[in-house]
Structure 1
Amino acid sequence: MTHSVLLIGGNRFPFHRLADRKTAITAAFDDRIDVTTTTDKDDLTDLAGYDAVVDYLTDSTLSDEQRDGLLSFVEDGGGYVGIHCAADLTSTVADDPDELIDSREEPFPDLREMLGGHFVTHPEQSVVDVRIVDHHSPITATLEDVSVWDEPYVLDVDDDVRVLARMDHPEHADMPVAWTKPYGDGRVFYCSLGHGTASLTHDGVQALLRNGTRWAVGDE
């Protein structure tokens, strides 16, 4: 059975451009996942026909209609897969197209509730040692620990998410890397890895994203 997913991202900023990352992200999927890519946030207003949204947006500013379309889709049973920058729920667009501004002290609350965590900061890119800590989830049951060059995210994470993988960073100690949670009737999977091509093309990271997307659409 083939599942249809919408991969959404942006091309406005010099980092996390979907144009630069979509080939690596879609390479993680197999022929069970049919991917449509977009940079148009209005596509979130009508998600009929999709089984999941794969989110690689850096700018989390959505109109009420766009946000309600995404939230209701997941709440009504759709899947949501957040990759790396999808957890940056405080950034908004500045006048300079290559710049983000942090104009909110708190993340967008309804998106934060759905995701189960949000980005706080990150140290410099480095080799990240990722430990699988839940071998009972179908996402990580067959996966091994990985070491990958990436931008390690420091995240504020809810206590009730199911953490699948963690990292231990010398500056920020132990930190969740991947988790799942329910949202209404839908399934949410988040992975903080994926800043650049080096991590997105890593076999272990691709397996994590592939399994997480399968789980989000209910194909286990």
Structure 2
Amino acid sequence: MRKALIVQGGWDGHQPKEVAAIFAELLGKEQFDVVVSDTLDSFKDAELMISLDLIVPIWTMGSIAQEQLRPLLDAVQAGCGIAGCHGGMSDAFRNEVEYQHMVGGQWVAHPGNDGVRYEVSMSRPDDPLTEGIGDFEVSSEKYYMHVDPAITVHATTDFDGVKMPVVWTKTWGQGRVYHNTLGHQANIVEMPPVLELMRRGFLWAARPQA
């Protein structure tokens, strides 16, 4: 059985506890042994980190000490997958550029705030991470991202004539990185197409089974 660590906390406005519960249930159904933690010190637990196949950060803003960050970066570099959504992965640890480098992007703005209605478009019909999901509409915050040009984009939205990445993947050393910018709060995460995107992303990012 593969093992996943969910670390939740930071700004309560993104409902980290509620989203962590949704993701823990989803991963449990996919036969993961799931550990849910509310402290960044979990990254300092060497025995735990070595045992992991997937890390799911749900920690908005905040700060992370180097003795917490370095084991996280090293674990992904060594082959542990990391996957998450807006509420806690691409708006976290704003001063830590190496973390942003690993993630592949960083939130910078959401003009109009919550309640903006927009379409999320799948990039390729034959993409296994998006195949059969189809384009869908969401009413939420709409995110302007600064992104790494090395990412592989799987879904986009139109942002004033710019194709803005919504779902992307990349690698960090031997580890796989999956990110979905949707996920302002639990109600967005629970939308069937968003939850299916996350399910596929978790499975893709997790360390391959031997």
Which of the five TM-score ranges fits, normalised by the shorter chain? 0.7 to 0.9
Greater shift in the superposed pair: 209-218 or 51-60: 51-60
Who is 1:197 aligned against?
Answer: 186
Coordinate RMSD, CA, aligned: 2.1
1:39-58 CA distance string (max 9 Å, x none): 11000123121111111110
Alignment: residue pair count: 202
Q: Match of 1:122, as an amino acid?
A: H
Who is 1:40 aligned against?
Answer: 39
Q: Structure 2 CA distance, aligned partners of 1:142 and 1:60?
A: 37
Who is 1:9 aligned against?
Answer: 8
User: Which of the numbers 47, 69, 72 marks the counterpart of 1:70?
Assistant: 72
CA contact (8 A) 2:11 2:61 kept: no
Q: Structure 2 CA distance, aligned partners of 1:219 and 1:90?
A: 28
Percentage identity across paired residues of the two chains: 28
TM-score using structure 1 length: 0.83
3-state secondary structure, aligned to 1:207: helix
CA contact (8 A) 1:8 1:56 kept: yes
State the 1:138 CA deviation: 2.7
1:129-156 CA distance string (max 9 Å, x none): 1111034443223322121222221100
Q: How does 1:76-95 map to 2 (within 5 A)?
A: 76-85=78-87, 86-89=89-92, 91=94
Q: Match of 2:22, as an amino acid?
A: A
- Closer, same or farther in 2 for the Cα pair 1:115/1:13, shift >3 Å? closer
Query: Does structure 1 residue 31 correspond to structure 2 residue 13?
Result: no
3-state secondary structure, aligned to 2:184: coil
Stretches of structure 1 lacking an aligned partner (at least 5 in a row): 92-106
Who is 1:51 aligned against?
Answer: 53
Q: Match of 2:171, as an amino acid?
A: P
CA contact (8 A) 1:131 1:167 kept: yes
State the 1:167 CA deviation: 0.9
Q: Match of 1:117, as an amino acid?
A: G
Who is 1:145 aligned against?
Answer: 135
CA contact (8 A) 2:90 2:106 kept: yes
State the 1:173 CA deviation: 4.2
Who is 2:206 aligned against?
Answer: 217
Who is 1:127 aligned against?
Answer: 117
CA contact (8 A) 2:153 2:168 kept: yes
TM-score using structure 2 length: 0.87
User: Which of the numbers 115, 126, 142 marks the counterpart of 2:103?
Assistant: 115
State the 1:219 CA deviation: 5.2
| Structure holding more helix per residue | 2
Stretches of structure 2 lacking an aligned partner (at least 5 in a row): none
CA contact (8 A) 2:169 2:176 kept: yes
State the 1:199 CA deviation: 1.0
CA contact (8 A) 1:134 1:163 kept: no
CA contact (8 A) 2:11 2:62 kept: no
Q: Structure 2 CA distance, aligned partners of 1:189 and 1:15?
A: 23
3-state secondary structure, aligned to 2:194: helix
State the 1:60 CA deviation: 4.7
3-state secondary structure, aligned to 2:4: strand
